[in-house]
């Protein structure tokens, strides 16, 4: 029997990639709010030579992002062979810009960093207006991007030809394998780090910052949230759950989220290789780094893990119940035990471990699984937008290419919503 493979419904590869590069580019050009920037660039050019118009060069740069080219030479070759693309971009005279023209235009754009960022903010806020549930659940993570250089220049001031911004980043991973042996690995990167916040449901970028590769995630995570609270407060106002991996495990970060009424679902670092129990509130009650709470029988010291039964909002405490009273399991000292069957542990006992969503509950695991949304956006950035091979010298240039990629992502989503093709918008921004 022959098997006919079926394509996956609502997937990025089967829907958006098959639209055709030119069609996707037209969607971006029609929906990107870039008119103010274009007028400003045309005003700066004045009455000089106009062999390659500003708008045509801008459209060519967007085509590089949409087509997923990682190098300027790739889009230049594409322009020379693709007559239809030249007309879409605005090079109707048959002339094609070279690498030097592209380089000068990029240098000009890097002086309009704020205007480019405002375009991204406008697109993100448009999605907040269009989708009532957009931004309810957010996830944050970071990604390394390599520099074009392989070491830092000794020059103190950047000149566009030397690397003065990139740094060496280092990550160490360790654990225990199935055989009980300890393992460790070290990864390094010379370049930059993209810190990104995405909507979990739709997998659309909401906010981002660029730093050198050696900057700690937790440090910039806290600074990122505080900046959003001041400049784009509606993001935190709508957010209910905020997910992040163990790199963002920090009591201060969790408190910043709590102050904004956001439930933190942040994985926990292994602070101690050997699990040590810490005395809890109420008699023979103890808890460990994983958030598990135990009770000990008064007669023989038999230990039982207590059952989490929910969050007490009025008292800001997690509730735990005796397993004998909750499940009816056996305990030698249950007949004579005088300890209360239900206890409350306030979040202030240990804000890192005890959060509004209990770490040992199924709800925590279900919500935390949404954190992979930001990983899929990073994967799309690498594969579909060329960042897997893209190398930039200088943090400003890296920021320019990043904001363009995120603008294209958001613009394609906005265009699908405006055309009342919500099912296509879902295929654009979320996996099947």
In 3D space, the residue among 417, 432, 396 whose CA is nearest the CA of residue 166 turns out to be 396
Instruction: Please state, in angstroms and rounded to a whole number, the distance separating the CA atoms of residues 253 and 236.
Output: 13
All residues at 6 or more sequence positions from 6 whose CB lies less than 8 Å from its CB, including other chains: none
Instruction: Please state, in angstroms and rounded to a whole number, the distance separating the CA atoms of residues 290 and 421.
Output: 44
| CA distances, 252 to each of 218, 261, 302, 351 (Å) | 10, 14, 36, 9
In the beta sheet, which residues pair with residue 345?
A: 318
Total length of the chain: 432
In 3D space, the residue among 143, 142, 171, 148 whose CA is nearest the CA of residue 160 turns out to be 148
Instruction: Please state, in angstroms and rounded to a whole number, the distance separating the CA atoms of residues 295 and 383.
Output: 51
The answer to whether 203 and 406 are in contact (CB under 8 A) is no
Alpha carbon 1 to its chain's center: 44
Instruction: Please state, in angstroms and rounded to a whole number, the distance separating the CA atoms of residues 150 and 146.
Output: 9
In the beta sheet, which residues pair with residue 339?
A: none
Residue indicated by tokens 């069609």: 23
Longest pairwise C-alpha distance within the chain: 94
In 3D space, the residue among 64, 45, 29 whose CA is nearest the CA of residue 108 turns out to be 45
Residue indicated by tokens 């129990």: 277
Fold assignment, 131-268+368-393: Nucleotidyltransferase; domain 5 (3.30.420)
- In this predicted structure, what is the pLDDT of residue 339? 73
Going residue by residue through the chain (432 aa), what tens digit of pLDDT does each one get? 334 333 333 344 444 444 567 888 898 999 999 999 999 999 988 776 777 889 999 999 999 999 888 888 889 998 888 888 888 998 877 788 888 889 899 989 988 999 999 999 999 999 999 999 999 999 999 999 988 888 877 776 666 667 788 889 888 877 777 777 888 888 888 999 999 999 999 999 999 999 999 999 999 999 999 999 999 999 999 999 999 999 999 989 999 999 899 999 999 887 655 556 666 655 557 888 888 888 877 666 677 788 888 888 888 888 888 887 777 666 766 666 767 778 888 888 888 888 999 888 899 999 999 999 999 999 989 888 888 877 888 889 899 999 999 999 999 999 888 887 766 655 544 433
The answer to whether 267 and 218 are in contact (CB under 8 A) is no
- In this predicted structure, what is the pLDDT of residue 1? 36
Q: Could you tell me the residue ranges of all domains in the chain?
A: 12-112, 131-268+368-393, 278-358
| CA distances, 368 to each of 197, 264, 373 (Å) | 15, 10, 10
> Model-level pTM?
0.86
The 3-class secondary structure across the chain, one letter per residue, is CCCCCCCCCCCHHHHCHHHCHHHHHHHHHHHCCCHHHHHHHHHHHCCCCCCCCHHHHHHHHHHHHHCCCCCHHHHHHHHHHCHHHHHHHCCCCCCCCCHHHHHHHHHHHHHHHHHHHHHHHHHHHHHHHHCCCCCCEEEEEEEEEEECCCCCCCCCCCCCCCCCCCEEEEEEEEEECCCCCEEEEEEEEEEEEEEEEEECCCCCEEEEEEEECCCCHHHHHHHHHHHHHHHCHHHHHHCCEEEECHHHCCHHHHHHHHHCCCEEEECCCCCCCCCCCEECCCCCEEECCCCCEEEECCCCCCEEECEEEEEECCCCEEEEECHHHHHCCCCCCCCCCCCCCEEEEEHHHCCCCCCCCCCCCHHHHHHHHHHHHHHHHHHHHHHCCCCCCCCECCHHHHHHHHHHHHHHHHHHHHHHHHCCCHHHHHHHHCCC
In the beta sheet, which residues pair with residue 140?
A: 197, 244
């Amino acid at each position: 029997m022959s098997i006919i493979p079926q394509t996956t419904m609502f997937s990025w590869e089967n829907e958006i990639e098959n639209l055709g590069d030119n069609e996707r580019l037209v969607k971006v050009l029609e929906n990107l709010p870039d008119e103010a920037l274009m007028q400003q660039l045309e005003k700066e050019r004045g009455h000089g030579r106009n062999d390659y118009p500003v708008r045509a060069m801008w459209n060519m740069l967007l085509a590089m992002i949409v087509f997923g080219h990682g190098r300027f030479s790739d889009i230049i070759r594409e322009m020379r062979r693709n007559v239809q693309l030249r007309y879409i971009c605005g090079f109707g005279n048959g002339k094609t810009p070279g690498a030097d023209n592209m380089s000068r235009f990029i240098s000009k754009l890097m002086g309009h960093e704020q205007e480019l960022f405002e375009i991204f903010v406008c697109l993100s806020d448009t999605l907040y207006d269009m989708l009532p549930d957009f931004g309810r659940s957010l996830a944050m993570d970071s990604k390394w991007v390599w520099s074009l250089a392989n070491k830092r220049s000794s020059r103190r001031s950047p000149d566009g030809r030397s690397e003065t911004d990139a740094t060496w980043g280092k990550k160490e991973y360790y654990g225990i394998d199935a055989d009980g042996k300890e393992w460790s690995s070290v990864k390094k990167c010379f370049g930059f780090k993209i810190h990104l916040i995405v909507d979990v449901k739709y997998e659309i970028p909401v906010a981002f910052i660029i730093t050198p590769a050696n900057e700690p995630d937790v440090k910039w995570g806290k600074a990122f949230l505080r900046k959003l609270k001041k400049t784009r407060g509606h993001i935190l106002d709508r957010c209910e759950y905020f997910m992040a991996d163990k790199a963002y495990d920090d009591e201060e970060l969790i408190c910043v989220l709590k102050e904004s009424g956001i439930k933190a679902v942040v994985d926990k670092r292994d602070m101690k290789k050997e699990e040590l129990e810490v005395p809890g509130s109420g008699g023979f009650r103890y808890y460990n780094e994983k958030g598990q709470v135990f009770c000990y029988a008064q007669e023989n010291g038999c230990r039982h893990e207590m059952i989490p039964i929910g969050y007490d909002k009025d008292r800001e405490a997690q509730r735990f119940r005796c397993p004998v009273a909750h499940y009816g399991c056996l305990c030698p000292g249950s007949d004579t035990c005088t300890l209360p069957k239900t206890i409350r542990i306030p979040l202030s006992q240990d804000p890192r471990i005890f959060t509004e969503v209990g770490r040992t509950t199924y709800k925590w695991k279900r919500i935390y699984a949404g954190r992979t949304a930001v990983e899929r956006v990073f994967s799309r950035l690498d594969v579909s937008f060329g960042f897997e091979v893209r190398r930039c010298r200088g943090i400003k240039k890296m920021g320019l290419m990043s904001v363009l990629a995120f603008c294209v992502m958001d613009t394609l989503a906005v265009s699908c919503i405006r055309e009342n093709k919500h099912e296509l918008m879902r295929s654009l921004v979320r996996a099947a």
